[in-house]
Structure 1
Amino acid sequence: MQEAKKKTSLKAKVQKLGTSLSSMVMPNIAAIIAWGLITAIFMEQGWFPNAHIAKLITPMLTYLLPLLIGYVGGRMVYEERGAVVGAIATMGVVVGAKVPMFLGAMIMGPLGGWCIKKFDQLFQDKIRSGFEMIYNNFSSGILGMLLAILGTYVVNPLVVAGSNFMSKGVDFIISIHMLPLANIFIEPAKVLFLNNAIGNGILVPLGIQQASTAGKSVLFLLESNPGPGLGILLAFMFFGKGSAKGSAPGAAIIHFFGGIHEIYFPYILMKPALILAAIAGGVSGTFTFQLLGAGLKAAASPGSIIAILLMTPKGSYLAVLSGVFVAAVVSFLVASVILKHDKSTGDDLAEKQAEMEAMKAESKGKEMPSSQAAQDSVDSYADVKKIIFACDAGMGSSAMGASLLRDKVKKAGIKDISVTNTAVNRLKDEQGLLVVTQEELAERALQRTPSAMHVSVDNFLSSPKYDEIVANLKALSQIQDKPQATENTVKTAEAGDLGNVDFTKVEEVNFIRHDQHIGTVTMATSLFSDSMKKANKQTPIKAVRINELEDSDKHLVIVTAAAKKNLAVRYTDIQTVVVDDLLTDKKLQDVVAKLK
């Protein structure tokens, strides 16, 4: 559990601004892709030229896309009323514009939503019953008209001037072959989960403006290039260690073909020096794109090689694939050198995260939770009815995290708990909500949903906290369904009667490992294993964390009385033997004798 700071940090403010820009574009990516496909296929130089269908290209670029962005921008601020006023206001900057008015839409959409929101706060409560419809329609219409006029005479000229300035700046950077240096900033920003803000908030609008005149833009490839991430994951496949090496092949497939770049971020965060590999790959890839004249017709989202090839104009496939290949090779070579000189053991990422949390707790003098603390942990989930994963854009990694937890919840037999995902800026405060976010976004999530329960994780794709969530929800449901089971189980275990254990069902013996007694449990597991070997017994012996157990009578757990109480609020079907001492209790030999 995380408590966000009361004061908004500078980093959170930057993320909030970037995400606001990105979130106006992300819901409209499908429309941008539709425009890009029509352009690539039916324009005069397209795959299948069709003059009649090509008439869609200019109106979609000039009117449809900016209006959609303005609509979404207004909705972000003030639901449907804000969306309508935002779209009306956007029309003011669209009409007569000589450039695609994406930046203007990003200004007028939220401005329209904000204005109608403030207007309602001042006057809505003063409207008499029966006049609500008149007020709603005319207030939105009049305010939208005024904002559209403002957009036509004030915002439009400013945005046109700014767009022309930025366009010339981009053209100048490209002309002097300095564009690759942009990746020095883009790659570290991606790892800080600002990838959507940079890609969709900045590069996509500028890229569309460039593509509208040149037919393609290299800017669409700067953030979406999967080459740098692929090279790093390939390096882990060959030179990584432990579970990081084992998980790299699957991550590479998801990253390269699925376009979910967030999946390789934890690998860099685990070994920060690898950011040099990402930067080197990004710079070299962009240099290759620029050298060969590569570009895309429209944004490739997600950043999958499939999406990139679909957005590649006729005759540019070799240039695009060359840039991706060069980026992958360079990042692979740099990452390989770093990993070869790495002295770490490459332990499982989830286990490392759990150990880090334990070390933090130990450094603060925290004790192993008492039975009351365990009960309080379970009780804190009593009101949870819905779980929402929230990430920067509401897609990609949060969708996969939600899928993983949804599967765990289903397997645990927990009913009436929905698990979904959304963008952090679309969270709504409500009772019975559990919000799961990345630690980078925890502060903003808490600001939007102060009444919700919050859990933050390092990595959506691998976190021990998922098991903790499931264990608490399951324990709660079991306590509600079987109020006497826990009490009866505790009494039986504390009586220490081995006759109440069905040894014929036992397929694994477990010792509970926690951070205050790692040495004791490790030694106890080792001694018990030795006793089993001497007795020629084959039942597996494992030390596990309390949340890693399966609630099944196939597990026999050897615990002390204090630890047994923590088990009692989480599990009802496991079998237990309570001992006074994990190392010397004579009952341990009786257990060995009865096991198979």
Structure 2
Amino acid sequence: MKEKVQSFGRFLSGMVMPNIGAFIAWGLLTALFIDTGWTPNAALATIGTPMLTYLLPVLIAYQGGKMVGGPRGAVAGAVATIGVICGTEYTMLMGAMVMGPFAGWCMKKVDAMFEGHIKPGFEMLVNNFSLGILAMLLAILGFYVIGPFMAGVLNVLSAGVQVLVNHQLLPLISVFVEPAKVLSLNNAINHGIFTPLGAEQVKETGRSIFYMIETNPGPGTGVLLAYSFFAKDEHTKQSAPAALIVHLFGGIHEISFPYILMNPLLLLATIGGSVCAMIYNSIMGLGLVSPASPGSIFAFVGMAPKGETIQVLLSIVIAAGVSFLIASPIVRFSNAKKSLDSASDQMADMKAASKGATAYTTSESGQKVDLRTLDHIVFACDAGMGSSAMGSAVLQRKLSAAGFDNITVSHAPVSEIPAGTELVVCHRDLAERAVKSAPNAKLVTITDFMTAPEYDEIIKELQDARLNTNPENAEGSDFHGGILIKKNIHLNGPEKNKEEVIKEMGKVMYESGYTTEKYTEAMFEKEKVFNTAIGNEIAIPHGIESMTGEIKNSGIAIFTYPDGMDWGDGNIVKLVIGVASVGNDHMAALQKIAEACSTTEDVEKIVKMDVDEIYNLFK
């Protein structure tokens, strides 16, 4: 049940998070130019209403449709949501969250129905009209059904909120929010629930208290301060100040969660701090004009209405102060049997077990990656903005310090890991989702974004691979580490048939440590399905794709036959380049070969060169 709630919440937040910049743009327009704004401007203030009414719901619907039905689902969701918007007077952020994914699902089903049944030449016609007709029908459905229904839902929610406000019970929401945050539901709660409710409130009053509930960095700040002063475990005490800076100024609340999970009693501190801040916010009538994302002190205060900056800042101070007072004795008098690392591991195991998942430490998805050619790593998190951005920055610095400046580290949502990614790093709780999103990537999981030992393990593996000290590659071979080495350049070969050349090429590849003995068979299999003569008197024999497991290291061998030889299908070949590749190692050499062999005359010149000349040309 908890897994379903988490997945649903993450899906909702996944529609909103990529569009937070648009929410901030709308919030700043509101804060600056409305009648009570910082610089009132009646003309510019008119931009805010259509942004809230149309732009933000359409962006959310587009993202939701894309998540379910791809680009066509995104367009269907955006069009259909216009019907939802026009079907009610409410701001339809929640309506967009319903219609966008629903339209994407419908588009996916329609496409599946037509797949394989469209006559050649009519694909564009059918695709365009199927999307247009479906989007029109869904817009009508949104106007008459979804819009009015979601208006009813908002009426009920608004009435419930009003009851909490009238009875001064709104601060009690923190009793549920703070524990849910620590269970990684922070983005789901803030952007899936509070953001749409807050937008409706901003439209009526120009501010919303909902934007101050989950995003207040004060509760976590108090806990981290307590650890900085009173932690008994030295590692925890030393790491807490750095975590505090990231939490408070960077807005990455996830970094405080392991510290809280070390001692669950600390939830009393975060709840107490949040409740007191919410009481203060309610009494003072405070609110923010837009979501504060990430939950940094800068973003939180930056979204304060005109003239209320100090009051909003005090909300953080109150939350941090109360949280610190409650957390300090808990941290100081705890038995300190658990270190930060052991607590993180234990809680991650518990959370993984609750999802029926395998508990990982330094885990892999079972895939292999050629670390010698790796040039890109993806760091994934729930939304691809907060903890992954921080983790990718830390890992990038470590890689650069180790001399791997050619390897870039990017961050992405765990559900949108780019196709072709070879190495993914993510938090252990996201391992299952990362494997589904990038099934062909090697997966490394962590529990500590700032000081994960797995970062150093990645670098050690890279160093071993680049120095060719990986036992799996080095054992039983005389591999020299070069893709092209002089002993593999054989000149002025006598006339032979293709089979003899391939056998000799396979022997050279094996003896140089590039391949196993079976790679010769792989090259023969390739010739059965594709003649590797490519014109200009050149042939490039290589193994069939299904036998790439026979390759140990990438390498190239070059044979010349000045008198020419028959490569089959009427192809006379004078230059033969054998290729074995587990990655992209050979691409630079092949690019040089392509440039140097652009004409038959060029090949004739190469055939007349000596070993050193060919090596210097292609090294």
With normalisation by structure 2, the TM-score equals 0.70
Asked if 1:251 corresponds to 2:247, the answer is: no
Q: Distance in 2 between matches of 1:232 and 1:265?
A: 10
Q: Distance in 2 between matches of 1:356 and 1:61?
A: 40
SS of the counterpart of 1:264?
Answer: helix
Within 5 Å, give how 1:58-137 maps onto structure 2: 58-137=49-128
1:174 Cα deviation after fit = 1.4
More displaced 10-residue stretch of structure 1: 435-444 or 332-341: 435-444
More displaced 10-residue stretch of structure 1: 338-347 or 124-133: 338-347
Asked if 1:13 corresponds to 2:30, the answer is: no
Q: Distance in 2 between matches of 1:231 and 1:77?
A: 40
1:416 Cα deviation after fit = 5.8
| More relative contact order, 1 or 2 (CA 8 Å, 6+ apart) | 1
**Counterpart position of 2:208:** 217
Asked if 1:140 corresponds to 2:140, the answer is: no
Asked if 1:407 corresponds to 2:410, the answer is: no
Q: Rg: which structure is higher?
A: 2
Q: Distance in 1 between matches of 2:344 and 2:304?
A: 40
- AA partner of residue 311 (structure 1): M
Alignment deviations for residues 293-315 of structure 1 (CA, whole Å, 9 cap, x no partner): 11011111111111112211123
Structure 2 unaligned blocks of 5 or more: 350-361, 479-619
Within 5 Å, give how 1:344-359 maps onto structure 2: 344=336, 347=339, 349-350=340-341
SS of the counterpart of 2:199?
Answer: helix
Within 5 Å, give how 1:437-452 maps onto structure 2: 437-452=426-441
Q: Distance in 1 between matches of 2:430 and 2:366?
A: 25
Alignment deviations for residues 152-174 of structure 1 (CA, whole Å, 9 cap, x no partner): 00101100011111011112111
More displaced 10-residue stretch of structure 1: 312-321 or 193-202: 312-321
CA spacing shift, 1:313–1:354, aligned 2, 3 Å: closer
Contact 1:389–1:420, Cα closer than 8 Å, also in 2: yes
CA spacing shift, 1:378–1:317, aligned 2, 3 Å: closer
SS of the counterpart of 1:406?
Answer: helix
1:407 Cα deviation after fit = 2.4
Q: Distance in 1 between matches of 2:421 and 2:19?
A: 30
SS of the counterpart of 2:140?
Answer: helix
**Counterpart position of 1:169:** 160
Structure 1 unaligned blocks of 5 or more: 1-9, 359-373, 490-596
Alignment deviations for residues 103-152 of structure 1 (CA, whole Å, 9 cap, x no partner): 11001111111111111112032212222211221111111001000000
**Counterpart position of 2:322:** 330
For 2:370, which of 362, 382, 400 is the aligned residue?
Answer: 382
- AA partner of residue 332 (structure 1): F
CA spacing shift, 1:379–1:13, aligned 2, 3 Å: closer
SS of the counterpart of 1:479?
Answer: coil
- AA partner of residue 294 (structure 1): L
For 2:263, which of 252, 257, 271 is the aligned residue?
Answer: 271
Q: Distance in 1 between matches of 2:15 and 2:421?
A: 28
**Counterpart position of 2:616:** none
Contact 2:378–2:424, Cα closer than 8 Å, also in 1: yes
Contact 2:217–2:253, Cα closer than 8 Å, also in 1: yes
Alignment deviations for residues 180-219 of structure 1 (CA, whole Å, 9 cap, x no partner): 1111111111111110000000001001111110111100
Q: Distance in 2 between matches of 1:243 and 1:94?
A: 53
More displaced 10-residue stretch of structure 1: 133-142 or 436-445: 436-445
1:456 Cα deviation after fit = 2.2
With normalisation by structure 1, the TM-score equals 0.72
- AA partner of residue 169 (structure 1): G
CA spacing shift, 1:431–1:216, aligned 2, 3 Å: closer
For 2:463, which of 451, 463, 474 is the aligned residue?
Answer: 474
Q: Distance in 2 between matches of 1:318 and 1:91?
A: 40
SS of the counterpart of 2:313?
Answer: helix
**Counterpart position of 1:453:** 442
Contact 1:240–1:346, Cα closer than 8 Å, also in 2: no
1:401 Cα deviation after fit = 1.0
- AA partner of residue 406 (structure 1): Q
More displaced 10-residue stretch of structure 1: 313-322 or 407-416: 407-416
More displaced 10-residue stretch of structure 1: 193-202 or 400-409: 400-409
1:426 Cα deviation after fit = 1.7
Q: Distance in 1 between matches of 2:250 and 2:321?
A: 20
CA spacing shift, 1:356–1:103, aligned 2, 3 Å: closer
1:237 Cα deviation after fit = 1.5
Contact 2:365–2:443, Cα closer than 8 Å, also in 1: no
Within 5 Å, give how 1:187-206 maps onto structure 2: 187-206=178-197
Q: Distance in 2 between matches of 1:148 and 1:488?
A: 66
Q: Distance in 2 between matches of 1:78 and 1:459?
A: 34
CA spacing shift, 1:36–1:16, aligned 2, 3 Å: same
Q: Distance in 2 between matches of 1:34 and 1:380?
A: 43
1:417 Cα deviation after fit = 4.4
Q: CA RMSD in A?
A: 2.9
CA spacing shift, 1:271–1:132, aligned 2, 3 Å: same
SS of the counterpart of 1:125?
Answer: coil
1:380 Cα deviation after fit = 4.0
Contact 1:297–1:311, Cα closer than 8 Å, also in 2: yes
1:240 Cα deviation after fit = 1.6
CA spacing shift, 1:463–1:156, aligned 2, 3 Å: same
**Counterpart position of 1:555:** none
CA spacing shift, 1:437–1:485, aligned 2, 3 Å: closer
1:351 Cα deviation after fit = 7.8
- AA partner of residue 260 (structure 1): I
SS of the counterpart of 2:116?
Answer: helix
**Counterpart position of 2:275:** 283
1:317 Cα deviation after fit = 2.7
Q: Distance in 1 between matches of 2:91 and 2:301?
A: 24
Contact 2:348–2:428, Cα closer than 8 Å, also in 1: no
Alignment deviations for residues 524-577 of structure 1 (CA, whole Å, 9 cap, x no partner): xxxxxxxxxxxxxxxxxxxxxxxxxxxxxxxxxxxxxxxxxxxxxxxxxxxxxx
